[in-house]
Copies of this chain bind each other. A is one copy, B any other.
Amino acid sequence: MSSYAVVMAENLLASASAERADAAANRQRILAAAERLFAERGPQISMTELASAAGVGRATLYRRYPDVTSVAVALLDVHEQQLQQQMISGPPPLGPGASPRRRLQAFYDAMIDLLEQHLPLALGAEQGATRFATGAYGFWRTFVISLIRAAGRQDDALADALLAPLAPELYRYQRQDRGQTVSQVKGALARLAHVLPE
């Protein structure tokens, strides 16, 4: 690729995202620092810490992210969108084609894998009451509602109840405070999935 093409591509990208080159660089520095900080220090980091760890001023950080949870949400989004894609158009049992119960169970397994891999991020993404305000929660919710409907029922409240055990804070408690294994947690959720018909 010629350097001219590179420049053109970067220009395209910049105009598409309406973001200047230095701004994009800082965004990367912020996200990288956040990923490191969340892993090292846990979910309790302040905007001040994050800014200085990223080597940017506080106002620069605030320009993009209103609070720490937004940064965590942005970091999680990458992994979540991948999962969401598989739920919509991937192969069964997660994708369409399997029974509601099977699909719910596959969803549980995938979410637990996600939590296991990115727990600090998931915890950071819901400081305060932001859990349900997140776009991701709406997606999971719509998915489970459709499974319940496919099973011949109509019960939004049941969807919320079925999603409740996926709260990151609960998973942290089960794994760290109670010493439960990943298999034990997945097994319990598999039992829960039995509220939907095979």
Contacts and interface: CB of A to CB of B under 8 A. Distances in A.
A158 interface: yes
Copies in the complex: 2
Interface size class of A (residues with CB under 8 A): 20 to 34
Nearest to A185: B157
A160 interface: yes
27 contacts: A129-B172, A131-B169, A131-B173, A132-B177, A155-B184, A155-B188, A156-B184, A157-B174, A157-B184, A157-B188, A158-B191, A158-B192, A160-B174, A160-B180, A161-B185, A161-B188, A161-B189, A161-B191, A164-B164, A164-B165, A164-B167, A167-B167, A191-B195, A192-B192, A192-B195, A194-B194, A195-B195
